[in-house]
A and B are shown apart, each in its own frame.
Chain A
Amino acid sequence: MDWEVVIGLEVHAQLNTATKIFCGCPTTFGAEPNSHTCPVCLAMPGALPVLNEAAVDKAIAFGLAIGAELNRHSVFARKNYFYPDLPKGYQISQYELPVVGKGRLTVQMADGSEKVIGVTRAHLEEDAGKSLHEAFVGQTGIDLNRAGTPLLEIVSEPDMRSSAEAVAYLKKLHALVRYLEICDGNMQEGSFRCDANVSLRRPGAPFGTRAEIKNLNSFRFLEKAIEYEILRQKDILESGGSIVQETRLYDANRDETRSMRNKEEANDYRYFPDPDLLPLVLAEARIEKVRQSLPELPDAKRERFMQAYQLSAYDAGVLTAGRDLADYYERVADGVEGKLAANWVMGDLLGALNKAGVEIQDCPVSAEKLRLLVQRIEDKTISGKIAKEIFEEIFHQGGEIDAIIDSRGLRQITDVAAIAAMVDEIIAANPQQVAGFRAGKDKLLGFFVGQVMKASQGKANPDQVNALLLERLQKPE
């Protein structure tokens, strides 16, 4: 009998507010250690937290986007534990009453199927600082710049059944927070982090014991860590062992997970409501105001792309996976045929970006330029083949499309007389093939087209070449 994999994800999205969640310090990354601190985030005696309302609005936006219940009354709680980069000795978080309740996210799988993943809750909390072990021999440095950075912790239901579903969910979530502009989604800098709870069970059986895997800061690591964990747990279970409930760390260098601490060593966090902060009460008017300010969300955009640009569900899904890509596409497709624009963006453009390791927002070819290229195909100035060459050139070296076409004489030949002359010349030069064609070898048409295109250096309009060839070849001598 087979094993069923059960996966739930906890995602920490750093909210992109200008200042920290409980004080006025900036949240910018990479500053001199401890320069973005004040008595509040240093936990000096008598310093008190004051909630950053912008963080709340971002949490509301997220809740609305996943169709979640927004708790009109939520409570900040203290999670107590000692660690040097946690200056208060407790983290302010939300425990029993989170600001965002149950919601859901629909993910599209590669085979075109859809799956709804439940979101249990999302709550506001503060990030801890960083312990720096490398630079100090026999000592640990503490950098509290990150302490107090606002986080939205998004907890899913254990609804995923494969690493592919987990990755699809995480990608969808990643796209969503960027659509909403509540998180920069930078996984390298840790602005979007993920822990995975993985367990196995026999289909239909109750949930098995889970392991929590930490430190998954890329989609690939999430996939690999889950795959490793499935094999590890399967080995244990099939050899008659049982899974220990524990926290495991994913080591990307060795591609394995290893135990960090087990349940017995787990902290008793002694949660209780933070008496320094009033309960968070959401007024209807505030929720409504955030709702009005929401951008078009990925699912709605996908539907619209299918309608407005006549795209397949798959194409629309790829193009709306990220807000930057979707915006780019819409600028390309403005005034040209949607499907042709989609082919160019998804094919040549994404291919080139991938190969160069460049993100869409840093794309060297502007959407307007790509649109012009598509227009030059549509107005028959150049052929698709020439267009690909021009694209390669402007992607790597830059340059203006029309100037390149003119200076290199790439303009498509559409003059009937000129094409006819070339066609006649080829027919005259290849009597054997002409005879073959006329004897019924239809496939030889391709040979003639190739010869004419070659003679025209690829510039002859292929449709015209085709038509003229057929006309001349089928006409008896």
Chain B
Amino acid sequence: MDLHDFSLRQLREGLQKRDFSAQELTKSLLKRIHTLNPELNAFVTVTEAAALESAAQADARLAKGESGTLLGLPIAHKDIFCTADVPTTCGSKMLKNFVAPYSATVVERLAAEGMVMLGKLNMDEFAMGSSNETSYFGPVRNPWNTEMVPGGSSGGSAAAVAAGLVPVATGTDTGGSIRQPAALCGITGIKPTYGRVSRYGMIAFASSLDQGGAMARSAEDCALLLSAMAAHDPRDSTSHPAAASDFLRGLDRPLQGLRVGVPEEFFGEGLDPEVAAAVQAGIDQLAKQGASIQSIRLPNNPHAVSTYYVLAPAEASSNLSRFDGVRYTHRSSAAESLDDLYLQSRYEGFGAEVRRRILVGTYVLSAGYYDAYYLKAQQVRSLIREDFRRAFAEVDVIVGPTTPEPAFPLGAKNADPVAMYLADIYTIAVNLAGIPALSLPCGFTQSGLPIGMQLMGDYFADDLLLNVAHRYQQESDWHLARPNLKAGEA
């Protein structure tokens, strides 16, 4: 087995036993990135010099006998997290030349653990997209089949982890942006409970829905990373006071007596039969491990997508107002007046999907439309939350497909935004409720594309989701499958 296949636990053991140094590990992955990234386009920035520098520091600390859980381990960040002295583009021309003078809390925390950042990962522009095709820096390709999309918006993170360019990565999830690409790239990704992970320095798309999370090749690695990410942050008013937790504790609890709910609404029209079969097999596997399975209803789930596409654009239209051509953003050179400066800079700086959502969001907040759209959507949001509350009175975990279909070809849905929005039909309700959810691999299509199974839990049941996923991965090997990439020498 090569270093790029190692789990975090294996890498840590290797570093502790001096089988290899942090610098050797870093160099090995940088070499793999150089070989594979030109085709995958998962990284938008590779911070080679800084990575080698922090690897050297990690080696020095290791030599002194320090044994931090994540010390010397490589990571890359979705390019939505601000990184001091390294460009943060958010996948947009608008921020093409933006270098933040500060780092996101998540970035700071992981750097403080001694993790080595290899670079910044491609994403849909401002996290708006489900295929990674809205990025100003070009689409990311799916390592399992480079004609296919990796999912989005954390497509760069999912592809980089799946391709072994980095063992773990950060992602963000507003309507499925961690889970959907994790499913399409055959990795494990968790969107924690809203308020678990600080949003400070994480560029906002829709503040009430955005949540940072962990993406890795196993639930155990997700647990390791999330333990370092989750913490109360006084700089984020929506950060929860009890956000911190050790997610490794309890990871091995047996599934005996676990009550699993399967929502009827997740198995209706539009679900690919191969996906349905693989998820059903995954549920059977959980039953075999001691879980009791019961059917449940989430009656308002069918309204989730339309509710989301009112609320998320509304917040986005306001959140993206700061990108106005006045300070650190792209500024049009054609502008001849103040209004023109705004119009031209924003027209040139934002891509079509971002402009579409700003227009929708501006519309639904406008005088005369607010009550019919924004307020109504907030009411439906309460109903969706209520659905989950009722369900979790009866079950511990809800299980279903992460996506209605496996990875689709690049360009297949670009002409039809609604078809693209439906890629998140099973993931969006979770964000509206604020509960945690996780996607893990549960099979492959006949054409060899990964299939993801989604676990949803009650507020702050993140540890239970990781526990269930970990136990499942103890008894299955879907998560161990690797794409066949032409870089065997790396």
Residues of A within 8 A of B (CB): 39, 42-51, 78, 80, 82, 84, 87-90, 142, 268, 270-272, 275-278
A270 with B365: in contact, given A42-B327, A44-B328, A90-B318 (CB under 8 Å)?
yes
Does B459 interact with chain A (Cβ within 8 Å)? no
Q: Is the CB of A84 within 8 A of B326?
A: yes
Q: Is the CB of B204 within 8 A of A80?
A: no
The distance from the CB of A244 to the nearest CB of chain B, in whole angstroms, is: 20
4 closest A-B pairs by beta carbon, nearest first, are A89-B321, A275-B208, A275-B207, A270-B365
A275 to B318, CA, bound (A): 11
Does B407 interact with chain A (Cβ within 8 Å)? no
Does B236 interact with chain A (Cβ within 8 Å)? yes
By a CB distance below 8 angstroms, the chain B residues around A82 are 321, 324, 342
By beta carbon, the residue of chain A nearest B343 is A82
By a CB distance below 8 angstroms, the chain A residues around B101 are 39, 44
Q: Is the CB of B327 within 8 A of A48?
A: no
A89 to B367, CA, bound (A): 18
The distance from the CB of A145 to the nearest CB of chain B, in whole angstroms, is: 15
Q: Is the CB of B321 within 8 A of A46?
A: no
By beta carbon, the residue of chain A nearest B103 is A46
Does B267 interact with chain A (Cβ within 8 Å)? no
Does B455 interact with chain A (Cβ within 8 Å)? no
Does B183 interact with chain A (Cβ within 8 Å)? no
Q: Is the CB of B203 within 8 A of A45?
A: yes
By a CB distance below 8 angstroms, the chain B residues around A268 are 366-367
Provide the B188-228 mask, 1 if CB < 8 A to any CB of A, else 0.
00000000000111111011100000000000000000000
Q: Which of A50, A51, A87, A272 contacts B322 (CB 8 A)?
A: A87
Q: Is the CB of A80 within 8 A of B324?
A: no
Q: Is the CB of A45 within 8 A of B237?
A: no
The distance from the CB of B124 to the nearest CB of chain A, in whole angstroms, is: 16
Number of A-B contacts (CB under 8 A): 98
Residues of B within 8 A of A (CB): 80-82, 88, 90, 95, 98, 100-102, 104, 199-204, 206-208, 234-238, 314-315, 317-318, 320-324, 326-328, 338, 342, 362, 365-367, 370, 374
Q: Which of B200, B317, B327 contacts A46 (CB 8 A)?
A: B200
A46 with B82: in contact, given A88-B322, A89-B318 (CB under 8 Å)?
yes
The distance from the CB of B314 to the nearest CB of chain A, in whole angstroms, is: 6
By beta carbon, the residue of chain B nearest A140 is B338
By a CB distance below 8 angstroms, the chain B residues around A80 are 317-318, 321, 365
Q: Beyond the given A49-B237, A89-B321, A276-B207, please list 15 additional residue pairs across the A-B interface where CB-CB is below 8 A.
A: A44-B82, A44-B101, A45-B82, A45-B88, A45-B203, A46-B204, A82-B321, A84-B338, A87-B327, A88-B321, A89-B324, A270-B370, A272-B374, A275-B207, A277-B237
Q: Is the CB of B322 within 8 A of A39?
A: no
Q: Is the CB of B100 within 8 A of A45?
A: yes
A45 to B96, CA, bound (A): 13
By a CB distance below 8 angstroms, the chain A residues around B315 are 272, 275
By a CB distance below 8 angstroms, the chain B residues around A46 are 80-82, 100, 104, 199-204
Q: Which of A45, A49, A278 contacts B90 (CB 8 A)?
A: A45
By beta carbon, the residue of chain B nearest A22 is B237
By a CB distance below 8 angstroms, the chain A residues around B322 are 43, 45, 87-89
A78 with B318: in contact, given A39-B102, A46-B100, A48-B236 (CB under 8 Å)?
yes
The distance from the CB of A52 to the nearest CB of chain B, in whole angstroms, is: 11
By beta carbon, the residue of chain B nearest A89 is B321
Q: Is the CB of B100 within 8 A of A278?
A: no
A45 to B90, CA, bound (A): 10
Q: Is the CB of A278 within 8 A of B237?
A: yes
Q: Is the CB of B235 within 8 A of A48?
A: yes
A277 to B208, CA, bound (A): 10
A48 with B199: in contact, given A270-B366, A275-B207, A275-B315 (CB under 8 Å)?
yes
A48 with B200: in contact, given A270-B365, A272-B365, A278-B237 (CB under 8 Å)?
yes
Q: Is the CB of B326 within 8 A of A142?
A: yes
A44 to B235, CA, bound (A): 14
A47 with B321: in contact, given A272-B374, A276-B207 (CB under 8 Å)?
no
By a CB distance below 8 angstroms, the chain A residues around B318 are 78, 80, 89-90, 270, 272
By beta carbon, the residue of chain B nearest A23 is B235
By a CB distance below 8 angstroms, the chain A residues around B326 are 84, 87, 142
The distance from the CB of A27 to the nearest CB of chain B, in whole angstroms, is: 19
A50 with B234: in contact, given A45-B98, A45-B100 (CB under 8 Å)?
yes
By a CB distance below 8 angstroms, the chain A residues around B367 are 268, 270
The distance from the CB of B322 to the nearest CB of chain A, in whole angstroms, is: 4
A313 to B49, CA, bound (A): 79
Q: Is the CB of A272 within 8 A of B236?
A: no
By a CB distance below 8 angstroms, the chain A residues around B365 are 80, 270-272
By a CB distance below 8 angstroms, the chain B residues around A142 are 326
Q: Is the CB of A48 within 8 A of B338?
A: no
By a CB distance below 8 angstroms, the chain A residues around B374 are 272
Q: Is the CB of B235 within 8 A of A50?
A: yes
By a CB distance below 8 angstroms, the chain A residues around B234 are 50
By beta carbon, the residue of chain B nearest A81 is B321
A45 with B95: in contact, given A87-B327, A270-B366, A276-B238 (CB under 8 Å)?
yes
The distance from the CB of A46 to the nearest CB of chain B, in whole angstroms, is: 4
By a CB distance below 8 angstroms, the chain A residues around B88 are 45
By beta carbon, the residue of chain A nearest B321 is A89
Q: Is the CB of B100 within 8 A of A44?
A: yes
Q: Which of B206, B237, B320 contacts A48 (CB 8 A)?
A: B237
By a CB distance below 8 angstroms, the chain A residues around B102 are 39, 44
Q: Is the CB of B321 within 8 A of A90?
A: yes
A88 to B318, CA, bound (A): 8
By a CB distance below 8 angstroms, the chain A residues around B328 are 44
By a CB distance below 8 angstroms, the chain B residues around A87 are 322, 326-327
A78 to B321, CA, bound (A): 11
A47 with B237: in contact, given A87-B322, A90-B318 (CB under 8 Å)?
no
By beta carbon, the residue of chain A nearest B328 is A44
By beta carbon, the residue of chain B nearest A272 is B365
A42 to B321, CA, bound (A): 13
The distance from the CB of B90 to the nearest CB of chain A, in whole angstroms, is: 7
By a CB distance below 8 angstroms, the chain A residues around B338 are 84
By a CB distance below 8 angstroms, the chain A residues around B235 are 48, 50
The distance from the CB of B358 to the nearest CB of chain A, in whole angstroms, is: 11
A39 to B315, CA, bound (A): 20
